Amino acid sequence: MSVTVPESQWRHVPVRPDVERWATRRTRRRVLVVVHTMIAGQRLLDTIRLLEGDVRVQVFFTQAPDVFGNGVAEFLDGLGGLVLPWSQAVQTVFDLALAAGHGGLHELPTPVIVLPHGAGHNKLAPAGRPGRTVAQRGVYGLSRQRLVRDGALVPEVIVLAHHEELTRLGRECPEALPVAEVVGDPCFDRIVTSLPSRALYRDALSARAGQRLVLVCSTWGPDSLLGQGWEILERLVDELPRDEFRIAALLHPHVWNAHGAWQVRAWLAGLGRSGLTLVSPYGDWTGALVAADYIVGDHGSVTLYGAMTGAPVLMAGRSDADVDPGSPLAELMSFAPRLRPDRPLRAQLKRSSATCRPQRYEKVASRISSEPGRFSRKMRALLYRKLRLRAPVSRTTTEPAPLPATVPYGEPGGVGVPWRRT
């Protein structure tokens, strides 16, 4: 259980100047992890694990206000960390804060490192509130709208995965270039490390020898694969012979949080009885991606990461989704075949294998990270530089992904196991 302090009692959280009166271990630096959404929190785990074993550093957590904040409290509870209410976080000075979102960061009296919560920066920011004129839509995470508040740059550091993002940042918000650092992508590195263990991930998803695993990946929102309808899932389950194919669905955590775990399971219960495997949003998703023989996706980050695996990628959802035309995701969408509703799915899958050009996927994958295998080393160096501490002499490593967890249909309670990195 985490130590979550009610808003009315925030002054009693032991982070006051006189904390040394009762603290068992005196630390030299304090780091605040700002969690906007569950997906952002999962992303931040790759960074805070780089502080493990360092008794000089105390890590605290807080939930920042966000429209997709449902599920964050349970996520933090599963971590077992010391959780401060937002009202205290914005009145307490820490040595450093980490975030993978932008809302409310200007309220913190603490330097903030902002990381991406997906595969780089591919989406265009929303057009704004109805009735307001927007001159130009920026790239989410790179635009002045997100990075500047009252004329001042909010982040202390903006973490990027690829050098080409510096060019895009320079177009969107040139004053942010001096604080941008390219360190790579943790999910990219974990996928590469996990590829040799593909058979283990297939076993975890009950894919038998000779079966081809079709992984359906849907992001959130009305333009997503599921937002455009359930027909693709229904047709895949109905049309593909179960002795030859196994079908699994990987849904963005926002889908679960917006509708509730019970509702998602209820909607998909019939397909589950017909053989659909549902991947838990609380587990690491990279193993499921590595296991796939075919990836059916949309404009979400998981589909882009799929370009790394060697499996053919087929597109669904809206073809005109809000994607930055200069992004690697837009490049993938430009050549990956789209599923046709008027043609048999089995034939389309077979054709995608025959026409797959690995070099095109490799080119897209190379645009995800320009620091392959180096995220842990470069990110740890950045953390300790900003904390003004000497980094530990031990080497950092990238571990393979844990086995994917699945959702049991028809059972009460949660959707799998509480989040933990194993």
Instruction: Give 358-389 pLDDT, tens digit per residue.
Output: 999 999 999 999 999 999 999 999 999 999 99
Three-state DSSP at 73 gives helix
Q: pLDDT-based confidence at 146, cuts 50/70/90?
A: confident
The structure tokens listed for 66 are: 């966000």
Residue 248 β-bridge partners: 215, 277
* Whole-number pLDDT of residue 240: 97
- How confident is the model over 102-126, as a mean pLDDT? 89
d(CA 45, CA 25): 23
d(CA 82, CA 59): 8
H helices present in 205-284, as ranges: 231-239, 253-259, 261-273
Looking from the CA of 293 toward its CB, the CA atoms found within 13 Å total 18
Q: pLDDT-based confidence at 130, cuts 50/70/90?
A: very low
Q: Which long-range contacts (CB under 8 A, 24 or more apart) does 325-329 make?
A: 326/168, 327/120, 327/121, 327/122, 327/139, 328/119, 328/120, 328/122, 328/304, 328/364, 328/367, 328/368, 329/119, 329/122, 329/299, 329/301, 329/303, 329/304
Task: Give percent above pLDDT 70 in the chain.
Answer: 88
* Whole-number pLDDT of residue 2: 44
* Whole-number pLDDT of residue 320: 80
User: With 70 as the cut, is the pLDDT of residue 101 above it?
Assistant: yes
Contact 100, 48 (CB under 8 A): no
* Whole-number pLDDT of residue 111: 97
Single out the residue of 104, 121, 98 nearest to residue 69, CA to CA: 104
* Whole-number pLDDT of residue 21: 61
Q: pLDDT-based confidence at 18, cuts 50/70/90?
A: low
Q: Burial code of 317-354, b = ≥16 C-beta within 10 A, e = fewer? A: bbeebbbbeebbbbbbbeebeebeeeeebeebbeebee
Helix (H) or strand (E) holding 213: strand 212-218
Write phi, then psi, for 261 (nearest 5 degrees). -60, -40
User: With 50 as the cut, is the pLDDT of residue 419 above it?
Assistant: no
β-pairing, 29-35 with 57-63?
Answer: parallel
* Whole-number pLDDT of residue 82: 93
* Whole-number pLDDT of residue 324: 87
d(CA 178, CA 74): 37
Share the mean pLDDT of the chain.
Answer: 88
d(CA 280, CA 293): 19
Name the residue type at position 67. Answer: V
* Whole-number pLDDT of residue 19: 60
Q: pLDDT-based confidence at 14, cuts 50/70/90?
A: low
Q: pLDDT-based confidence at 58, cuts 50/70/90?
A: very high
Q: What is the pLDDT of residues 237-295, one digit of tens each?
A: 999 999 999 999 999 999 998 898 999 999 999 999 999 999 998 889 999 999 999 99
Number of residues assigned to the chain? 422
- How confident is the model over 76-103, as a mean pLDDT? 94
Q: What is the pLDDT of residues 192-228, one digit of tens each?
A: 999 999 999 999 999 999 999 999 999 999 999 999 8
* Whole-number pLDDT of residue 416: 44
Burial of residue 222 (CB within 10 Å: 0-12, 13-18, 19+) is: exposed
In the DSSP assignment, the letter for residue 275 is: T
Q: Burial code of 92-114, b = ≥16 C-beta within 10 A, e = fewer? A: bebbbbbbbbbbbbeebebebbb
* Whole-number pLDDT of residue 129: 46
* Whole-number pLDDT of residue 305: 96
Q: pLDDT-based confidence at 174, cuts 50/70/90?
A: very high
